[in-house]
Structure formats: structure tokens, C-alpha cells
Structure 1
């Protein structure tokens, strides 16, 4: 069972992933080399296949999907604003820097 804190983190992560705002977006070289990068980015934005198996903490911080026979991962990490360590409070955007990384599964 998830609480209000988890729901707020999930909402902030969803906003970052859907809009690519409120976060830094890192796209690995493998993903950048794909022929249809806009389609991959669109699939990240539209991702909604969260289940207890792939999102056990309910924070909507990871997903994977297939694109042209390739498995793509995306993940969101929350750091302090200096990107030195984990955020002290991922529900507070004033002290949190979100980083959304989009990569090929083989790059993980």
C-alpha cells in the first residue's frame, strides 16, 4: 500500500516524464543512434504500463518497452540540487534534481 508521499513522488515523476520539464533528460548514445528517436521519446512520454511487478514502490520511476525489436529502458533518479547525493526529500522540487535517463536495455 502506498501513502501520500509516494503518490506525490509518482505525480512529480509522471510530470517530468510526460513533459520533459522539471528534470534533466539524458539520452544515451545507443538511443540517439536509433532511426526513429522521436517515436522512442513519444513512447517514454506515453508510458503507463505500471504494475506491482515493475513498480513495486509506486513511484513511477522506471519503465521498459519494445521499439522495433529493441528493449528501451527509462529511469528517473532523484538527487540533491548539486547532483552529489540522493535527494533529501524527493517530494520537494526545491531540494531535488530529477534526472530522466533513456537507454537501450543493453546499456544498463
Structure 2
């Protein structure tokens, strides 16, 4: 017996849950990717030094604990974008969906096995 297709609301809820899981487990090694832009790298500085390492950790906590989703910043309810201030700089994180080869967009971001999520952390000027 074929399972019925999920409703649009169920599909959106599944995408949001997968995006939240990526952020909440940002240190976990898996198929998803985390990218920091040059602007973020410049803000953090040398991560081999304590100051840079601490700032990187603080940045990750901000993204992991982000939960201020509203219609203005999450119009599709997918939890795929957030804005925050880090070291007095307006910053964004954004999740994009790719196929397993990272060549094209995902066929269906609600299907974990068919999607590689890429979370990019950037300054607002780089958006």
C-alpha cells in the first residue's frame, strides 16, 4: 500500500524540523555543510588563538539557539533564515537545499536522504 503524500503543512513542518536539527546539531559530522564567509572569518579572527576560538564558539551558540522565527523573517515557515548581531555587526544565517551531488537544488527538501543542507553564515553586507 502506498502512503499518501504529506499535506503542504506536514511537508513544511518536516523541512523546518530538519533545518532546526541541522542548527541544533551544528557540530555533528554528517552530510550537511556549514560555511562561513570571509566577512565572518574576519570578524572572528585567528581561531588558533583563544579569542578567535571563543568568538567562533559564541557565534555557533547564537545560531544553534536562534528561535525568533516570525512572518517577517520566516515567511514560508521553513526555519531557513535568521538574522542576529555578532560583535556589533548585523549577520545572517541561511540554509539552502542541494541534491546529493551538490550540483542542483534538492528535488524535495522534506526528504532528508535526497537533500544536503548548506548553512551559510555571513555578514549582512555579504548577502
| TM-score, normalised with respect to structure 2 | 0.79
**Greater than 6 Å deviation, 4+ residue runs:** none
Match of 1:16 in 2: 22
Match of 1:92 in 2: 111
Please report how far the alpha carbon of residue 5 of structure 1 lies from its aligned counterpart in structure 2 after TM superposition: 0.4
Q: Aligned match of 1:25 in 25, 31, 34? A: 34
Query: CA-atom RMSD, angstroms?
Result: 1.3
Gaps in structure 2 of 5+ consecutive residues: 1-7, 45-54
Q: Hey, what's the Cα distance between the residues in 2 that align with 1:79 and 1:67?
A: 28
Gaps in structure 1 of 5+ consecutive residues: none
Q: Aligned match of 1:46 in 47, 65, 79? A: 65
Write the deviation string for residues 42-82 of structure 1: whole angstroms up to 9, x where unpaired. 10110001001110100000000112220110000001011
Match of 1:73 in 2: 92
Q: Does 1:58 align with 2:77?
A: yes
Question: Which structure's CA Rg is the greater one?
Answer: 2
Q: Hey, what's the Cα distance between the residues in 2 that align with 1:67 and 1:28?
A: 14
Farther off after superposition, 95-104 or 29-38: 29-38
Farther off after superposition, 13-22 or 41-50: 13-22
| Secondary structure in 2 matching 1:39 | helix
Q: Hey, what's the Cα distance between the residues in 1 that align with 2:114 and 2:10?
A: 19
